[in-house]
Amino acid sequence: MQRLARDWRREGVEIGCVPTMGCLHAGHLSLIERARREAGPGGRLVVSVYVNPTQFGPREDFSTYPRDLKRDARLCREAGVDVLFAPTDEQMYPGAFEEKYSTYVIEEELSRGMEGASRPTHFRGVTTIVAKLFNIIQPHLAVFGAKDYQQAAIIERMAKNLNFPVRVLVAPTLREEDGLAMSSRNKYLEGELRGEAVVLWRSIEKVRAAVRSASRPVPAGRLKTMVQRLVRSQAHARLDYVEFFEPESLSPLAKVGRGAHIALAVFVGETRLIDNARL
């Protein structure tokens, strides 16, 4: 991949990339479309599919995470992707088990709260794998989804702080008709759980309506209680966190007005779902 990227760069070809964990859905395809537009007609598109073990906690779903490389390859081919980069664990972390893998990239500010608080080693895994992918694919631009809002902010910060010559772009969240954010993990939602999963989007809409109809900023505590109640009304749903924050710095807000950002994580059955939106 590095050799290919070097040759492309020598020819002046623009390289766009979309890092994913596979099990591709329409959300991923929209990022691929964006990357194609940004790379231009002579550009090349690389999609990586890699379920990165270092971003999963010990009690998380690494081993059961849905994988379907054959289908991913077909979808990439249909989308006109030039290279599907799907490395093995041994290729990405050579000698990991003999403890020869010991280098990580750590972002220390934006990754503290929310997903970082609930999943302590998660972002270290994300920044490390994305830094590795940037070094391997050597893209001019990379597209990430606003679905993982905190992740996108951290990657933008990392690219800036570590001088990666990569334009980091963030594309909007694609949703199912009822509002559920598309996610590979939605595959886990069987029977009534699929219906209950809409509670994340309904929470966002309810908070948004409350903030928009209020004449002044609303105390975050009041909105959190609203979300807690709504989530609790679903038989199999459990709120992990809901946070209100300033969209650039990710700093928590005590009072929430228009332009603030909401993010939440909810367990629906065993499945942990996240969502976020500008209010």
Give residues in contact with ligand AMP (CB under 6 A).
20-21, 27-28, 30-31, 144-145, 147-148, 171, 173-174, 181-184
DSSP assignment of 107-157: --STTSSHHHHHSTTHHHHHHHHHHHHHHHH--SEEEEEGGGHHHHHHHHH
Write out the two tokens for 276: 């976020």
Phi, psi of 219 (to 5 degrees): -55, 135
| Closer by beta carbon to ligand AMP, 218 or else 264 | 264
**Least distance (Å) between residue 170 CB and ligand AMP:** 8
> 25, 28, 140, 261: which is the annotated catalytic residue?
28
Q: CA quadruple 232, 153, 100, 136: dihedral positive or negative? A: positive
Give the side-chain half-sphere CA count within 13 A for 163.
0
**Least distance (Å) between residue 27 CB and ligand AMP:** 3
| Closer by beta carbon to ligand AMP, 27 or else 139 | 27
Number of H helices, E strands in the chain: 10, 10
Q: What is the DSSP letter of 241?
A: E
Give the side-chain half-sphere CA count within 13 A for 26.
10
**Least distance (Å) between residue 12 CB and ligand AMP:** 27
| Closer by beta carbon to ligand AMP, 182 or else 279 | 182
Active site residue 236: no
| Closer by beta carbon to ligand AMP, 9 or else 67 | 67
**Least distance (Å) between residue 169 CB and ligand AMP:** 10
Catalytic residue annotation: 28
